[in-house]
Amino acid sequence: MTKSDILLGYIKASSYRTKIIKALEGKKLTPAEMAKETNISLSHVSNTLAELVEKNLIVCLNPEFKKGRLYELTSNGKKILKNLV
């Protein structure tokens, strides 16, 4: 089992993680935009974002901001997205 397989299983184990990865496909979004697009509460989006950043699947483009933080997929996140069905 490869590291990619482990990460793919990690993403698929949570509908929140799956929805957020899919929402970021080709986009840069704020947590509020993700919450609206995925119908996940903002607090759950924030918690999930922290997990995905820690796993190097997404990156915050402007971490110095308190509001209006933008997130996008990393190259690892894009690889995982290709394997999500």
Can you tell me the distance from the alpha carbon of 71 to that of 79, in angstroms, rounded to the nearest whole number? 16
DSSP H or E run through 59: strand 58-60
Q: Which CATH class is domain 3-83?
A: mainly alpha
21-47 pLDDT, tens digit per residue, is 999 999 999 999 999 999 999 999 999
33-85 pLDDT, tens digit per residue, is 999 999 999 999 999 999 999 999 999 999 999 999 999 999 999 999 999 87
Domains of the chain, by residue range, sit at: 3-83
Q: What pTM does this model have?
A: 0.93
